[in-house]
Amino acid sequence: MDFIYNLHRTMLSQNLILVYQGDFTQETTKSILAMAERNLDSSGEESSIKRKVFNVMVEALQNIVKHSDELIDGQMRSHAAIFLIGKEANRYSIMTGNPIRKSNVEKLNQALTHINSLDKDGLKELYKNIIKNTTISEKGGAGLGFVDMARKSGEKLEFAFPEMNSEYCFFCLKVNVPRESGE
């Protein structure tokens, strides 16, 4: 039973206001967004900040639903992942983690590193180029989500790929949204 108290203490120390771990579906995503929206509304947060946080949450959750690789454990197929929101005095942090095949890590790492190398104008140009020149992937994405998260947050995307087993890594993403309006 100590784990309940330890988890509570960890959530407090990390300033977490919402945590969900489990399978992610469109229905789960809607529920998480509704809870987070109520939390943001009750906090009295500035509307421009709420919009940015909400936009990043939508993109992060869509990323999990569309691009998380199925973790096959024996015969069980799972899209088990984690979604967290933290609130500090100067920022919100939207964090996700989901399984990804090792064969997909290099391409994703390169894309995220490229996004992080761009300034505001570079992100805008990349966004326009993707809209004009890309096709939708088989999983329904065009690669805009990460660019949009970087643009909305105005911050670098934090990411890591800890190894889970011989076939999978766990893709960890953290997007910080400043609580001061930058517009």
Tens-digit pLDDT profile for residues 110-161: 999 999 999 999 999 998 888 887 655 555 455 789 999 999 999 999 999 9
| 107 domain-assigned | yes
Give how many domains the chain has, as a whole number: 1
- Establish if 147 belongs to a structural domain: yes
Per-residue pLDDT, 40: 85
Quote the pLDDT of residue 123.
93
Residue 73 within a domain: yes
> What is the pTM assigned to this prediction?
0.87
In a domain, 77, yes or no: yes
In a domain, 96, yes or no: yes
Domain holding 20: CATH number?
3.30.565.10
- Per-residue pLDDT of the chain in tens (183 residues, 90 and over written 9): 899 999 999 999 988 989 999 888 888 889 999 998 888 888 888 889 999 999 999 999 988 887 677 666 654 456 679 999 999 989 999 999 998 899 999 999 999 999 999 999 999 999 888 888 765 555 545 578 999 999 999 999 999 999 998 998 999 999 999 998 654
Using CA atoms in the order 115, 118, 121, 125, what is the torsion angle rounded to 10 degrees? -50
Closest CA to 60 of 131, 126, 132, 159: 159
* Domain of residue 161, residue span: 2-178
Has residue 101 been placed in a domain?
Answer: yes
How many CA atoms lie less than 13 Å away from 52 in the CB half-sphere? Answer: 24
183 in any annotated domain = no
What confidence score (pLDDT) does residue 90 get? 93
Q: Please tell me the predicted confidence (pLDDT) of residue 108.
A: 92
Determine which helix (DSSP H) or strand (DSSP E) holds 97, and give its type and residue range. strand 91-101
